[in-house]
Amino acid sequence: MREVAVVGAGMTRFGKYIDRSMKDLAREAVDHALRTAGIEPQALQAAAVGNAVAGLITGQECIRGQVVLREMGIGGIPVINTENACASSSTAFHLAWLYVASGMYDTVLALGMEKLFHAEKRRTFEAIGSAIDLEQADAFAREMSGEQSVGAGQSRSVFMDYYANLARRHMAEYGTTKEHYAGIAAKNHTNGSLNPHAQYQTPRTVEEVLAAPLIAEPLTRMMCSPIGDGAAAVIVTTAAKARQLTSTPVFVRASTLGSSQEHDPHAPGIVAKVAAKAYAMAGLGPDDLDVVEVHDATAPAELLVYEELGLCEPGRGGQLVADGVTSLGGRLPVNPSGGLLAKGHPVGATGVAQIAEIFWQLRGQADQRQVPGARVGLTENGGGVLGGENAAASIHIFSV
């Protein structure tokens, strides 16, 4: 396998863009990625395009990638559409990496895009809620603890109840507190205030997070990722080509993708298993990381991922928060972009947006949210739920 590098990245500000098309959003992200890579569209030999639910929101199905890229003058090349819930564009990146690593192509675009916001909110929540086994939907709702699931999938995403249930279990087993979760949300909202691409750019305190309206105990609104639209794009190429284009290429040390499967409840879950493969591929471990972007669809999700990635022992995620380890200025900043909580979560764009953030961090281009001296970064992106865990999970490791 050939060594692969990222040489360009671009993204829109995430937000609610009822009057902007997916073509418009994608063009902004792709144009910026091409400019930073210093290449023309004609240099692209293939493209992988991630999108999750635009078909349910806009009606555009089947050829979403071809539709948006053709109007940019990008055509005549293989365009692969990837739909993998919230991991749609990290899956697209995995394919782009594989294209280059295998030797099939030298320069490939990975694009993530989403039109999620809709004037009729129930339509959005139903689209998000399709990322479970719909034949088991009633059982899934019952597992979310009876009355607390009233309104799930209609006035809010069903996944808020899923994460609330996990949060309550962690609190009961390990003594984790609502304040720990609020600390993550306050950290990420404050980080988002430093990120011009973030949907929310207002710093928050723990007290403000706790005082926000309750969504599903123990989650307040500020502990939950928002609905939004957006796009993100990166360019990957060979290490040799990357060194010709830039003096600061970001190398892909690991690209892994997995799916849920039946396992003993006490055995490692999908994130831990995919992480182990990524660490082995990169020849690195948790102690080697300088900066991390994780899938904080809710604040408890971030805390759980700390443990699944091996950043701490099981049950110790709350202590990382309390000690400031994962804050900017801490030993291992997590979600300096603001994460999904503040940067936003247009689901099909999230995975590549995480990669773009790590690209900027490792090149020292993250401005006020820059992690000093960052040389190794990791992204973790999950999608859907099956059997009590992510249906899909993707982890990438990068270095300079």
The catalytic site residues sit at 86, 345
Cβ atoms 233, 110 nearer than 8 A: yes
Cβ atoms 343, 295 nearer than 8 A: no
Report the SS3 class of residue 306: helix
Which one, of 5, 75, 66, 81, lies nearest residue 44 by Cα?
75
Cβ atoms 344, 82 nearer than 8 A: no
Write the CB contacts of 164 (distance below 8 Å, at least 6 apart in sequence).
Answer: 144, 148, 215, 216, 217, 218, 219, 298, 300
Question: What are the helix and strand counts (H, E) for the chain?
Answer: 15, 11
In angstroms, the CA 244 to CA 130 distance is 44
The enclosing H or E element of 298 equals: none
Cβ atoms 57, 124 nearer than 8 A: yes
The DSSP code sequence of 134-183 is: GGGHHHHHHHTTGGGGTTBTTTB-HHHHHHHHHHHHHHHHH---HHHHHH
In angstroms, the CA 232 to CA 344 distance is 12
In angstroms, the CA 208 to CA 220 distance is 10
